[in-house]
Amino acid sequence: MDIVFTDRVNRILEMATDKVDVHQALTPLHLFLAMCEENSGVCGELSSYLIKQYGFSFLHDFSKNLQPFHPAPITLPCCSVPVSPEVETLFTYAAGRMHRYNQIRLNEGHLMQAILKFEPTVHSLLTENDIAFVEKSVCASRDMLVAMDHYRSPDSVGESSYIRRAISTDLPALMELVEEQFGSGWIETVQNGFNKDEISIFLAKDNDRIIGFACYESFENKKGTFGPMGVVKGERTKGIGALLLHHSLSELKKKDYRYVVIEGAGPIEFYEKECKAVLIPIYESR
């Protein structure tokens, strides 16, 4: 099982492992409880919601449903303790969701989608409204906010010669790349970026080949927005996405926006680290 986890999922896995007693195996419920306890990003929002619904003792109360022992544990390379067969199934499903979204790191959203599918105990502990909140807050892409008053672009932005603003003749090649790598959902947004007097799209190029792009103020032509952004699979983890992001934010900084909205952020942890973006909260009444 060769899966790369985000830092947050690695922390969740470590916390879940710590909950496993000597005769137990790691189960999906262990992972769910660890997600509620992790307390950052969408996990922090989930924890706050469940405290509001069930009180501060909800983790202790939910833990009473953990199995005292497991009759047929197995081992996985990514886990330091025995796991239930359901956990292997869960990781396989979560990895499938990751690949479906053309991502390369398994994040908390993929993990929660799998937990909701393969852990019936979670459905017995939560109401339908609770499950709907979890799906909306943890499993879906989220809008994020960047405070621009204190934003400073890194020095590497000025040194990145392979990042440039798109020009009109780039449109056919970019459209082809977007359709092939990311699907038709972003086509209209890319077209919007090219319809402006100053094209609001940056490209990363390797010689004549486009290997990444980032749009700003293109999604529904909304002012003060960033996204979507994409880097072709073979070129990820090289810092290209970060440079595209900061080139775009630097342009938005020039427009004196106090805040920039990142539309539909998928890799939430990436934006938290790169530009101190925060989630725009989802408010749910009881």
Same domain, 42 and 83: yes
Pick the last residue of a domain from 140, 171, 195.
Answer: 140
Same domain, 188 and 77: no
Say which DSSP state 135 is in: I
For the chain, where are the alpha helices, taking DSSP H only?
Answer: 7-18, 28-38, 41-54, 58-63, 85-100, 108-118, 120-125, 128-134, 156-159, 171-181, 187-194, 240-254, 268-275
Pick the last residue of a domain from 110, 140, 170.
Answer: 140
For 143-186, what is each residue's pLDDT tens digit?
999 999 999 998 877 777 899 999 999 999 999 999 999 999 99
Domain assignment present for 233: yes
Question: Which pLDDT value is given to residue 52?
Answer: 95
For residue 113, the domain's CATH number is: 1.10.1780.10
Domain assignment present for 28: yes
Q: How far apart are CA 53 and CA 286, in angstroms?
A: 7
Model confidence at 38: pLDDT above 50: yes
| Amino acid identity at 253 | K
Same domain, 160 and 99: no
Say which DSSP state 85 is in: H
For 184-210, what is each residue's pLDDT tens digit?
999 999 999 999 999 999 999 998 899
Structural domain containing residue 237 = 145-279
Q: In what order do the strands lie in the sheet with 142-147?
A: 163-165, 201-206, 209-216, 225-231, 259-265, 142-147, 278-279
For residue 220, the domain's CATH number is: 3.40.630.30
In this structure, what are the phi and psi dihedrals at residue 63, rounded to the nearest 5 degrees?
Answer: -65, -20
Model confidence at 284: pLDDT above 70: no
Contact 148, 252 (CB under 8 A): yes
Pick the last residue of a domain from 91, 124, 140.
Answer: 140
For 237-280, what is each residue's pLDDT tens digit?
899 999 999 999 999 999 999 999 999 998 899 999 999 999 99
Model confidence at 138: pLDDT above 60: yes
- Averaged pLDDT of the chain: 94
Confidence of residue 68 (pLDDT cuts 50, 70, 90): confident
Model confidence at 64: pLDDT above 50: yes
